[in-house]
């Protein structure tokens, strides 16, 4: 509500593959020029499921950051950092845990789902139960407006909203709130204070949502308000108390879904991936040996693209003309499968070449990567400090 800030994180699970790229990172690259973005490595979240393999965390972290940079995440536009370098995330997690009903966490669908799916792992820990609460702290600490994530994470963002609402409800009702809000409005100058009061009335008396939007826009523009006053005015607008934490919205990734080489979801555990920066030779070999419609045993057998994983690659990588050529050629047995795969191979390699080039610079000089996350960490920390000052004060922990 301050700026339309975007926050997202990713667990460091090793080198990224093209499924990650098309499912998430490509979207981040687009967002970084449209919004102020913070992207971070969720290394604590990785420990919730992999606490027993600390030796791989660090390598995975650096590999992943290099993959982001290779994919086109630009540290001059987006803030990149590592979660554990901003311990305030953990502080906020602890403070939020005080007001989080246990049932809210037990009810998050991923909690039981993952326990069933990953039954070989020990997920009976407190950390795992708290996973979505830590995630809430990750986002709320930056007062983010949008969280770009996949479908599976929607309940986590819903939890963030509930937590923010509860926090504001419990701690935003300071004594003398209305008087403080009116005094804050005056600080905008009498003309703007009057406009604010009019818009607030229109919203509260007639439910006029355009007036609400206009009033919010007015507040966003005010440079001379303190954070506390701004929170009061946002809260006063809607009739509650101060809005100390912002309720974020999910920003669903309309992902062009790229399946794995065998048509299942692309995933390291299925051994069906193409690495983001994988060697051209190896990529070519993998695509050439991809399974196709099993009905095409001989070159002369017609096929059905709907039964072929290569077709899914065409849907992501080919233009209409090439798709029409492949579909027609497949159904009529006019082309062979290797022929059909060639434009896909070309397109994948063309996508990867600039990524490998960008990565090389960072592989040659790892201090570049260290500096990028150090800088990003500093920027993130500044924002986190601002929120934590408010949160501590609201919870009676400021000891001034």
The residues of the shown chain that bind ligand TRP, judged by CB under 6 A, are 7-11, 42, 45, 135, 138-139, 147, 149, 153
Please say whether the beta carbons of 5 and 131 come within 8 A: no
Position among 100, 253, 292, 318 found at the interface with ligand SF4 (CB under 6 A): 292
Position among 62, 311, 317, 362 found at the interface with ligand SF4 (CB under 6 A): 311
Position among 303, 343, 376, 377 found at the interface with ligand SF4 (CB under 6 A): 303
Interaction residues for ligand SF4, span 326-385 (CB under 6 A):
326, 330, 335, 337, 340-341
Q: Of these partners, ligand SF4, ligand TRP, none, which one is at the site of residue 330 (CB under 5 to 8 Å by kind)?
A: ligand SF4
- Residue number with CB closer to ligand SF4 (191 or 298): 298
From first CA to last CA, the distance across the chain in angstroms is 28
HSE-up (13 A, CA, CB side) for residue 192: 20
DSSP helix/strand/coil, 396? coil
Q: Of these partners, ligand TRP, ligand SF4, none, which one is at the site of residue 232 (CB under 5 to 8 Å by kind)?
A: none
Work out how close the CB of 338 gets to ligand TRP at its nearest, in angstroms, rounded to a whole number: 36
Strand partners, 38: 7, 79
- Residue number with CB closer to ligand TRP (153 or 292): 153
Distances (CA, A) of 274 to 168, 313, 350: 45, 12, 14
Q: Of these partners, ligand TRP, ligand SF4, none, which one is at the site of residue 292 (CB under 5 to 8 Å by kind)?
A: ligand SF4
DSSP helix/strand/coil, 354? helix
| Residue with tokens 């963002």, as numbered in its chain | 157
Please say whether the beta carbons of 62 and 41 come within 8 A: no
Binding segment for ligand SF4 (CB under 6 A), chosen from 98-106, 146-154, 229-237, 289-297, is 289-297
- Residue number with CB closer to ligand SF4 (331 or 389): 331
Distances (CA, A) of 125 to 103, 136, 236: 16, 18, 41
Work out how close the CB of 95 gets to ligand SF4 at its nearest, in angstroms, rounded to a whole number: 54
Residue 288 and residue 280: Cα distance in Å, rounded? 12
Strand partners, 8: 39
Q: Which residue is nearest to ligand TRP (CB)?
A: 9
Interaction residues for ligand SF4, span 182-211 (CB under 6 A):
none
Q: Of these partners, ligand TRP, ligand SF4, none, which one is at the site of residue 310 (CB under 5 to 8 Å by kind)?
A: ligand SF4
Per-residue 3-state assignment (H helix, E strand, C coil) for 142-207: CCCCEEEECHHHHHHHHHHHHHHHHHHHHHCCCCCHHHHHHHHHHCCCHHHHHHHHHHHHHHHHHC
Binding site for ligand SF4 (CB under 6 A): 292-293, 296, 303, 305, 308, 310-311, 326, 330, 335, 337, 340-341
């Amino acid at each position: 509500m301050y700026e339309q800030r975007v926050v997202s994180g990713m667990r460091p699970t090793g080198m990224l593959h093209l499924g990650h790229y098309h499912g998430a990172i490509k979207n981040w690259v687009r967002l970084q020029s449209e919004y102020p973005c913070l992207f971070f490595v969720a290394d604590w979240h990785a420990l919730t499921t992999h606490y027993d393999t600390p030796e791989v965390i660090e390598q995975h972290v650096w590999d992943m950051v290099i993959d982001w940079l290779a994919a086109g995440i630009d540290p001059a536009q987006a803030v990149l950092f590592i979660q554990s370098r901003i311990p305030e995330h953990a502080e906020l997690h602890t403070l939020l845990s005080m007001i989080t009903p246990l049932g809210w966490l037990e009810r998050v669908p991923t909690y039981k789902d993952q326990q069933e799916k990953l039954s070989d792992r020990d997920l009976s820990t407190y950390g795992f139960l708290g996973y979505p609460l830590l995630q809430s702290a990750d986002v709320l600490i930056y007062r983010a407006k949008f969280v770009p994530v996949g479908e599976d994470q929607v309940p986590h963002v819903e939890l963030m909203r509930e937590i923010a609402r509860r926090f504001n409800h419990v701690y935003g009702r300071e004594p003398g709130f209305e008087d403080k809000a009116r005094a804050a409005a005056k600080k905008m100058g009498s003309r703007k204070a009057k406009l604010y009061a009019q818009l607030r009335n229109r919203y509260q008396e007639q439910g006029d949502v355009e007036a609400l939007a206009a009033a919010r826009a007015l507040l966003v523009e005010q440079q001379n308000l303190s954070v506390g006053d701004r929170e009061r005015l946002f809260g006063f607008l809607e009739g509650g108390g101060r809005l100390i934490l912002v309720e974020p919205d999910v920003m669903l990734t309309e992902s062009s879904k790229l399946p794995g080489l065998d048509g299942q979801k692309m995933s390291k555990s299925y051994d069906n991936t193409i690495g983001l920066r994988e060697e051209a030779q190896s990529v070519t070999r993998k695509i050439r040996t991809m399974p196709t419609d099993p009905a095409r045993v001989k070159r002369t057998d017609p096929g059905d693209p709907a039964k072929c994983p290569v077709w899914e690659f065409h849907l992501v990588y080919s233009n209409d003309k090439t798709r029409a050529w492949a579909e027609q050629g497949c159904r009529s047995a006019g082309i062979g499968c290797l022929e059909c795969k060639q434009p896909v191979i070309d397109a994948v390699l063309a996508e990867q070449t600039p990524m490998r080039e960008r990565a090389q610079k960072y592989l040659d000089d790892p201090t570049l990567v260290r500096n990028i996350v150090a800088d990003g960490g500093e920027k993130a920390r500044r924002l986190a400090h601002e929120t934590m000052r408010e949160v501590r004060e609201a919870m009676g922990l400021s000891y001034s």
